[in-house]
Amino acid sequence: MATHSFGSDNHSGVHPAVLAALAAANEGHAPAYGADAVTARAIGLVRDHLGGGAEVAFVFNGTGANLVGLALALRPWQHVVCTATAHIAVDECGGPERLLGTKLVELRTPDGKLTPDLVRASTSGVGDEHRTQPGAVSITQSTELGTVYTPAEIRALAGTAHELGMVLHLDGARLANGAASLGVPLAAVTTDCGVDVLSFGGTKNGLLGAEAVVVLRSELAPGLAYARKQLGQLGSKGRFLAAQFAALLEGDLWLQNAGNANAMARRLEAGVRALPGADVAWPVQANAVFVRLPAEMARAAETFGAYPPDEVTGLVRLMCSWDTAEADVDALLAALAAAREPASLRAAGGPTGSALQEV
Protein backbone atom coordinates (compact mmCIF):
# COMPACT_ATOMS: atom_id res chain seq x y z
CA MET A 1 0.00 0.00 0.00
CA ALA A 2 1.38 3.42 -0.96
CA THR A 3 1.81 5.69 2.07
CA HIS A 4 -0.12 8.60 0.57
CA SER A 5 -3.80 7.80 0.31
CA PHE A 6 -6.29 9.18 -2.17
CA GLY A 7 -9.21 7.41 -0.45
CA SER A 8 -10.38 10.34 1.65
CA ASP A 9 -9.32 13.76 2.79
CA ASN A 10 -9.66 12.27 6.27
CA HIS A 11 -6.73 9.97 5.59
CA SER A 12 -4.21 12.80 5.92
CA GLY A 13 -2.68 13.77 9.24
CA VAL A 14 -2.73 17.00 11.20
CA HIS A 15 -1.01 20.15 9.98
CA PRO A 16 2.14 20.87 12.05
CA ALA A 17 0.92 24.38 12.91
CA VAL A 18 -2.22 22.84 14.37
CA LEU A 19 -0.19 20.39 16.44
CA ALA A 20 1.91 23.32 17.66
CA ALA A 21 -1.26 25.21 18.62
CA LEU A 22 -2.46 22.17 20.55
CA ALA A 23 0.86 21.98 22.40
CA ALA A 24 0.63 25.69 23.23
CA ALA A 25 -2.94 25.27 24.52
CA ASN A 26 -1.65 22.47 26.74
CA GLU A 27 0.30 24.88 28.95
CA GLY A 28 -1.22 25.17 32.40
CA HIS A 29 -4.86 24.97 33.44
CA ALA A 30 -7.88 26.71 31.92
CA PRO A 31 -11.62 26.85 32.62
CA ALA A 32 -13.64 24.02 31.06
CA TYR A 33 -16.55 23.91 28.60
CA GLY A 34 -15.36 26.80 26.45
CA ALA A 35 -15.06 29.41 29.18
CA ASP A 36 -11.35 29.83 28.40
CA ALA A 37 -9.30 32.47 26.61
CA VAL A 38 -8.38 30.26 23.64
CA THR A 39 -12.05 29.62 22.89
CA ALA A 40 -12.84 33.34 23.11
CA ARG A 41 -10.01 34.07 20.66
CA ALA A 42 -11.12 31.36 18.23
CA ILE A 43 -14.74 32.58 18.30
CA GLY A 44 -13.44 36.06 17.53
CA LEU A 45 -11.53 34.69 14.54
CA VAL A 46 -14.60 32.87 13.21
CA ARG A 47 -16.48 36.18 13.54
CA ASP A 48 -13.69 37.97 11.68
CA HIS A 49 -14.38 35.63 8.76
CA LEU A 50 -18.15 35.12 8.99
CA GLY A 51 -19.39 38.31 10.57
CA GLY A 52 -19.68 39.82 14.03
CA GLY A 53 -23.18 38.45 14.51
CA ALA A 54 -22.12 34.80 14.19
CA GLU A 55 -22.78 32.54 17.17
CA VAL A 56 -20.16 29.79 17.29
CA ALA A 57 -19.97 26.40 18.99
CA PHE A 58 -17.01 24.09 18.46
CA VAL A 59 -17.83 20.39 18.16
CA PHE A 60 -16.01 17.13 17.61
CA ASN A 61 -17.18 15.96 14.19
CA GLY A 62 -19.21 16.77 11.12
CA THR A 63 -22.12 14.46 11.82
CA GLY A 64 -22.51 16.13 15.22
CA ALA A 65 -22.23 19.59 13.69
CA ASN A 66 -25.01 18.79 11.23
CA LEU A 67 -27.20 17.41 14.02
CA VAL A 68 -26.74 20.50 16.17
CA GLY A 69 -27.34 22.92 13.30
CA LEU A 70 -30.43 21.12 12.07
CA ALA A 71 -31.76 20.77 15.62
CA LEU A 72 -31.90 24.57 15.78
CA ALA A 73 -33.66 24.80 12.44
CA LEU A 74 -36.52 22.35 12.93
CA ARG A 75 -39.81 21.97 14.75
CA PRO A 76 -40.82 18.34 15.43
CA TRP A 77 -43.22 18.15 12.49
CA GLN A 78 -40.86 19.58 9.90
CA HIS A 79 -38.72 17.89 7.27
CA VAL A 80 -35.36 18.65 5.65
CA VAL A 81 -34.94 18.88 1.89
CA CYS A 82 -31.53 17.67 0.70
CA THR A 83 -29.93 15.81 -2.21
CA ALA A 84 -30.03 12.02 -2.37
CA THR A 85 -26.22 12.13 -2.21
CA ALA A 86 -26.07 14.37 0.88
CA HIS A 87 -23.88 13.21 3.75
CA ILE A 88 -26.85 13.66 6.10
CA ALA A 89 -28.88 11.30 3.90
CA VAL A 90 -26.26 8.67 3.11
CA ASP A 91 -23.43 8.68 5.62
CA GLU A 92 -24.80 9.61 9.03
CA CYS A 93 -26.41 6.27 9.90
CA GLY A 94 -29.84 7.82 10.13
CA GLY A 95 -28.66 10.25 12.81
CA PRO A 96 -30.99 13.09 11.77
CA GLU A 97 -33.94 10.70 11.57
CA ARG A 98 -33.26 9.04 14.93
CA LEU A 99 -31.80 11.83 17.02
CA LEU A 100 -33.82 14.75 15.62
CA GLY A 101 -36.87 12.69 14.68
CA THR A 102 -36.99 14.42 11.34
CA LYS A 103 -37.81 13.22 7.84
CA LEU A 104 -35.34 13.80 5.02
CA VAL A 105 -36.81 14.54 1.61
CA GLU A 106 -34.01 13.36 -0.67
CA LEU A 107 -33.94 14.80 -4.17
CA ARG A 108 -32.06 13.28 -7.09
CA THR A 109 -29.71 15.69 -8.82
CA PRO A 110 -27.18 15.29 -11.63
CA ASP A 111 -24.42 17.16 -9.82
CA GLY A 112 -25.05 17.01 -6.08
CA LYS A 113 -26.56 20.51 -6.08
CA LEU A 114 -30.07 21.60 -5.18
CA THR A 115 -31.79 24.34 -7.16
CA PRO A 116 -34.68 26.65 -6.25
CA ASP A 117 -36.90 24.76 -8.73
CA LEU A 118 -36.12 21.40 -7.14
CA VAL A 119 -36.83 22.80 -3.67
CA ARG A 120 -40.07 24.42 -4.78
CA ALA A 121 -41.25 21.24 -6.52
CA SER A 122 -40.66 19.27 -3.31
CA THR A 123 -42.95 21.42 -1.20
CA SER A 124 -46.41 19.98 -1.54
CA GLY A 125 -48.92 19.61 1.24
CA VAL A 126 -48.05 22.89 2.94
CA GLY A 127 -50.65 23.55 5.61
CA ASP A 128 -51.99 19.99 5.44
CA GLU A 129 -51.89 18.57 8.95
CA HIS A 130 -51.40 15.06 7.54
CA ARG A 131 -48.08 15.96 5.96
CA THR A 132 -44.70 16.94 7.37
CA GLN A 133 -44.00 20.60 6.76
CA PRO A 134 -40.94 22.13 5.06
CA GLY A 135 -38.44 23.18 7.73
CA ALA A 136 -34.95 23.33 6.28
CA VAL A 137 -33.08 23.12 3.02
CA SER A 138 -29.69 21.52 3.54
CA ILE A 139 -26.93 21.97 0.98
CA THR A 140 -23.28 20.91 1.04
CA GLN A 141 -20.32 23.09 0.00
CA SER A 142 -18.27 21.70 -1.68
CA THR A 143 -20.69 18.91 -2.48
CA GLU A 144 -20.32 15.18 -1.98
CA LEU A 145 -19.66 14.98 -5.74
CA GLY A 146 -16.87 17.53 -5.57
CA THR A 147 -18.93 20.24 -7.24
CA VAL A 148 -19.15 23.81 -5.95
CA TYR A 149 -22.13 26.12 -5.54
CA THR A 150 -21.51 29.67 -6.76
CA PRO A 151 -22.50 32.51 -4.42
CA ALA A 152 -25.38 33.34 -6.78
CA GLU A 153 -26.69 29.77 -6.56
CA ILE A 154 -26.57 29.82 -2.76
CA ARG A 155 -28.23 33.24 -2.65
CA ALA A 156 -31.03 31.98 -4.88
CA LEU A 157 -31.54 28.94 -2.65
CA ALA A 158 -31.60 31.13 0.45
CA GLY A 159 -34.22 33.33 -1.19
CA THR A 160 -36.38 30.34 -2.03
CA ALA A 161 -35.96 28.75 1.39
CA HIS A 162 -36.90 31.97 3.16
CA GLU A 163 -39.85 32.58 0.87
CA LEU A 164 -41.11 29.11 1.81
CA GLY A 165 -40.51 29.78 5.51
CA MET A 166 -37.54 27.40 5.62
CA VAL A 167 -34.06 27.68 7.08
CA LEU A 168 -31.02 27.32 4.81
CA HIS A 169 -28.52 24.92 6.41
CA LEU A 170 -25.09 24.42 4.87
CA ASP A 171 -22.93 21.37 5.52
CA GLY A 172 -19.51 22.93 5.16
CA ALA A 173 -17.34 19.92 5.90
CA ARG A 174 -15.34 21.21 2.89
CA LEU A 175 -16.35 24.87 3.08
CA ALA A 176 -12.73 25.97 2.71
CA ASN A 177 -12.33 23.92 -0.48
CA GLY A 178 -15.45 25.55 -1.92
CA ALA A 179 -14.32 29.09 -1.12
CA ALA A 180 -10.76 28.41 -2.31
CA SER A 181 -12.09 27.01 -5.56
CA LEU A 182 -14.12 30.17 -6.18
CA GLY A 183 -11.34 32.46 -4.96
CA VAL A 184 -13.65 34.18 -2.49
CA PRO A 185 -13.69 34.75 1.29
CA LEU A 186 -15.58 32.29 3.49
CA ALA A 187 -18.35 34.83 4.06
CA ALA A 188 -19.01 35.11 0.33
CA VAL A 189 -20.54 31.61 0.25
CA THR A 190 -22.24 31.78 3.65
CA THR A 191 -23.07 35.01 5.48
CA ASP A 192 -23.32 37.16 2.37
CA CYS A 193 -25.66 34.67 0.67
CA GLY A 194 -28.25 34.31 3.42
CA VAL A 195 -27.14 30.97 4.89
CA ASP A 196 -28.81 30.68 8.31
CA VAL A 197 -26.75 27.97 10.00
CA LEU A 198 -23.73 25.98 8.94
CA SER A 199 -21.29 23.27 9.83
CA PHE A 200 -17.81 24.73 9.36
CA GLY A 201 -15.43 21.88 8.69
CA GLY A 202 -11.91 21.78 10.04
CA THR A 203 -10.93 18.12 10.11
CA LYS A 204 -10.61 17.65 6.36
CA ASN A 205 -8.63 20.88 6.20
CA GLY A 206 -5.79 19.83 8.49
CA LEU A 207 -7.28 19.73 11.99
CA LEU A 208 -7.10 16.78 14.35
CA GLY A 209 -10.85 16.62 14.77
CA ALA A 210 -12.73 19.88 15.18
CA GLU A 211 -15.71 21.44 13.44
CA ALA A 212 -17.81 24.46 14.30
CA VAL A 213 -21.53 25.09 14.23
CA VAL A 214 -22.03 28.69 13.17
CA VAL A 215 -25.43 30.33 13.52
CA LEU A 216 -25.89 33.37 11.30
CA ARG A 217 -29.60 33.97 11.91
CA SER A 218 -29.99 35.39 15.37
CA GLU A 219 -33.41 33.83 16.13
CA LEU A 220 -31.83 30.37 15.90
CA ALA A 221 -28.94 31.13 18.25
CA PRO A 222 -30.54 30.81 21.72
CA GLY A 223 -30.72 27.01 21.49
CA LEU A 224 -27.15 26.50 20.32
CA ALA A 225 -25.50 25.75 23.67
CA TYR A 226 -28.31 23.41 24.75
CA ALA A 227 -28.46 21.50 21.47
CA ARG A 228 -24.69 20.99 21.48
CA LYS A 229 -24.75 19.60 25.02
CA GLN A 230 -27.81 17.41 24.48
CA LEU A 231 -26.34 15.92 21.31
CA GLY A 232 -23.10 14.99 23.06
CA GLN A 233 -20.90 17.56 21.32
CA LEU A 234 -19.84 19.80 24.22
CA GLY A 235 -16.18 19.15 25.01
CA SER A 236 -15.10 19.75 28.56
CA LYS A 237 -11.53 20.60 27.50
CA GLY A 238 -12.92 22.86 24.84
CA ARG A 239 -9.73 24.82 24.40
CA PHE A 240 -8.25 21.99 22.39
CA LEU A 241 -10.99 22.26 19.76
CA ALA A 242 -10.78 26.04 19.71
CA ALA A 243 -6.97 26.12 19.46
CA GLN A 244 -7.19 24.18 16.20
CA PHE A 245 -9.60 26.66 14.65
CA ALA A 246 -7.45 29.55 15.82
CA ALA A 247 -4.48 28.02 14.00
CA LEU A 248 -6.55 27.62 10.85
CA LEU A 249 -8.06 31.10 10.83
CA GLU A 250 -5.54 33.55 12.31
CA GLY A 251 -3.50 33.54 9.10
CA ASP A 252 -4.47 31.98 5.83
CA LEU A 253 -3.78 28.35 6.71
CA TRP A 254 -7.38 27.45 5.82
CA LEU A 255 -6.79 28.79 2.32
CA GLN A 256 -3.33 27.32 1.86
CA ASN A 257 -4.54 23.87 2.86
CA ALA A 258 -7.71 23.92 0.80
CA GLY A 259 -5.95 25.55 -2.14
CA ASN A 260 -3.32 22.84 -2.18
CA ALA A 261 -5.90 20.04 -2.05
CA ASN A 262 -7.82 21.65 -4.92
CA ALA A 263 -4.68 22.24 -7.00
CA MET A 264 -3.58 18.64 -6.57
CA ALA A 265 -7.03 17.43 -7.65
CA ARG A 266 -6.72 19.52 -10.80
CA ARG A 267 -3.27 18.06 -11.47
CA LEU A 268 -4.68 14.57 -10.97
CA GLU A 269 -7.61 15.34 -13.26
CA ALA A 270 -5.25 16.51 -16.02
CA GLY A 271 -3.14 13.40 -15.67
CA VAL A 272 -6.09 11.03 -15.61
CA ARG A 273 -7.58 12.68 -18.70
CA ALA A 274 -4.37 11.79 -20.54
CA LEU A 275 -4.67 8.09 -19.63
CA PRO A 276 -6.36 6.03 -22.34
CA GLY A 277 -9.21 4.05 -20.82
CA ALA A 278 -9.77 6.37 -17.88
CA ASP A 279 -12.77 8.67 -18.06
CA VAL A 280 -13.16 11.65 -15.74
CA ALA A 281 -16.88 11.79 -14.93
CA TRP A 282 -17.20 15.58 -14.62
CA PRO A 283 -14.80 18.52 -14.36
CA VAL A 284 -12.99 18.89 -11.05
CA GLN A 285 -14.06 21.93 -9.05
CA ALA A 286 -12.67 21.22 -5.57
CA ASN A 287 -10.53 18.39 -4.18
CA ALA A 288 -12.33 15.32 -5.54
CA VAL A 289 -11.81 13.53 -8.84
CA PHE A 290 -14.54 11.11 -9.91
CA VAL A 291 -13.40 8.74 -12.61
CA ARG A 292 -14.44 5.58 -14.39
CA LEU A 293 -11.49 3.21 -14.56
CA PRO A 294 -10.80 -0.14 -16.19
CA ALA A 295 -10.66 -2.91 -13.56
CA GLU A 296 -6.86 -3.10 -13.33
CA MET A 297 -6.57 0.64 -12.91
CA ALA A 298 -9.23 0.63 -10.22
CA ARG A 299 -7.27 -2.05 -8.38
CA ALA A 300 -4.09 0.03 -8.74
CA ALA A 301 -5.97 3.01 -7.27
CA GLU A 302 -6.96 0.82 -4.33
CA THR A 303 -3.27 0.35 -3.50
CA PHE A 304 -3.30 4.15 -3.06
CA GLY A 305 -6.13 3.94 -0.56
CA ALA A 306 -9.01 4.50 -3.00
CA TYR A 307 -12.29 2.76 -2.26
CA PRO A 308 -13.51 0.22 -4.83
CA PRO A 309 -15.74 1.61 -7.60
CA ASP A 310 -19.18 2.72 -6.38
CA GLU A 311 -21.63 -0.16 -6.60
CA VAL A 312 -24.23 1.87 -8.46
CA THR A 313 -22.27 4.31 -10.62
CA GLY A 314 -19.04 2.38 -11.13
CA LEU A 315 -17.13 5.57 -10.36
CA VAL A 316 -13.94 5.71 -8.32
CA ARG A 317 -13.55 8.75 -6.04
CA LEU A 318 -10.01 10.06 -5.66
CA MET A 319 -9.58 12.68 -2.93
CA CYS A 320 -6.70 15.08 -2.50
CA SER A 321 -5.76 16.50 0.86
CA TRP A 322 -4.07 19.50 2.41
CA ASP A 323 -0.75 17.64 2.29
CA THR A 324 -1.00 15.92 -1.09
CA ALA A 325 2.19 16.66 -3.02
CA GLU A 326 2.78 16.74 -6.75
CA ALA A 327 4.99 13.66 -6.35
CA ASP A 328 2.08 11.79 -4.73
CA VAL A 329 -0.19 12.61 -7.64
CA ASP A 330 2.48 11.62 -10.14
CA ALA A 331 3.09 8.31 -8.35
CA LEU A 332 -0.61 7.48 -8.55
CA LEU A 333 -0.74 8.45 -12.22
CA ALA A 334 2.31 6.28 -12.96
CA ALA A 335 0.70 3.33 -11.20
CA LEU A 336 -2.53 3.80 -13.14
CA ALA A 337 -0.62 4.00 -16.41
CA ALA A 338 1.37 0.88 -15.56
CA ALA A 339 -1.81 -1.03 -14.70
CA ARG A 340 -3.34 -0.39 -18.08
CA GLU A 341 -3.37 -3.40 -20.36
CA PRO A 342 -5.29 -3.80 -23.60
CA ALA A 343 -7.14 -6.86 -22.24
CA SER A 344 -8.38 -4.92 -19.24
CA LEU A 345 -9.65 -2.14 -21.44
CA ARG A 346 -11.58 -4.64 -23.54
CA ALA A 347 -13.07 -6.21 -20.39
CA ALA A 348 -14.21 -2.80 -19.17
CA GLY A 349 -15.84 -2.02 -22.50
CA GLY A 350 -13.65 1.02 -23.14
CA PRO A 351 -14.25 4.60 -22.19
CA THR A 352 -17.77 5.87 -21.66
CA GLY A 353 -19.25 9.32 -22.14
CA SER A 354 -17.91 12.21 -20.14
CA ALA A 355 -21.25 13.86 -19.36
CA LEU A 356 -22.21 14.51 -15.77
CA GLN A 357 -23.58 11.23 -14.44
CA GLU A 358 -26.64 10.93 -12.28
CA VAL A 359 -25.72 9.21 -9.02
Ligand X SMILES: Cc1ncc(COP(=O)(O)O)c(C=O)c1O
Residue 111 vs 144, nearer CB to ligand X: 144
Residue 133 vs 203, nearer CB to ligand X: 203
**Closest CB to ligand X: residue number:** 62
- 171 near ligand X (CB under 6 A): yes
> Which window, 55-63, 158-166, 292-300, 338-346, contacts ligand X (CB under 6 A)?
55-63
By C-alpha distance, which of 96, 104, 70 is closest to 199?
Answer: 70
What's the rounded Cα separation, in Å, for the pair 70 and 65? 8
Rounded to a whole number of angstroms, the minimum distance from the CB of residue 8 to ligand X is 7
**Could you give the string, one character per residue 60-99, with x where binding to ligand X holds by CB under 6 A and - elsewhere?**
-xxx-----------------------x------------
Rounded to a whole number of angstroms, the minimum distance from the CB of residue 144 to ligand X is 5
- 153 near ligand X (CB under 6 A): no
Residue of the chain from 12, 39, 138, 140 that contacts ligand X (CB under 6 A): 140
Rounded to a whole number of angstroms, the minimum distance from the CB of residue 265 to ligand X is 15
Residue 286 vs 336, nearer CB to ligand X: 286
Residues 21-40 that bind ligand X (CB under 6 A): none
Rounded to a whole number of angstroms, the minimum distance from the CB of residue 129 to ligand X is 33
What's the rounded Cα separation, in Å, for the pair 29 and 33? 13
Terminal CA-CA length for the chain: 29
Residue 11 vs 47, nearer CB to ligand X: 11
What's the rounded Cα separation, in Å, for the pair 162 and 198? 16
> Which window, 18-26, 59-67, 285-293, 311-319, contacts ligand X (CB under 6 A)?
59-67
Residue 155 main-chain phi, psi, to 5 deg: -60, -40
Residue of the chain from 56, 156, 173, 255 that contacts ligand X (CB under 6 A): 173
Rounded to a whole number of angstroms, the minimum distance from the CB of residue 277 to ligand X is 28
Number of residues in the chain: 359
Which residues form the interface with ligand X (CB under 6 A)? 61-63, 87, 140, 144, 171, 173, 203
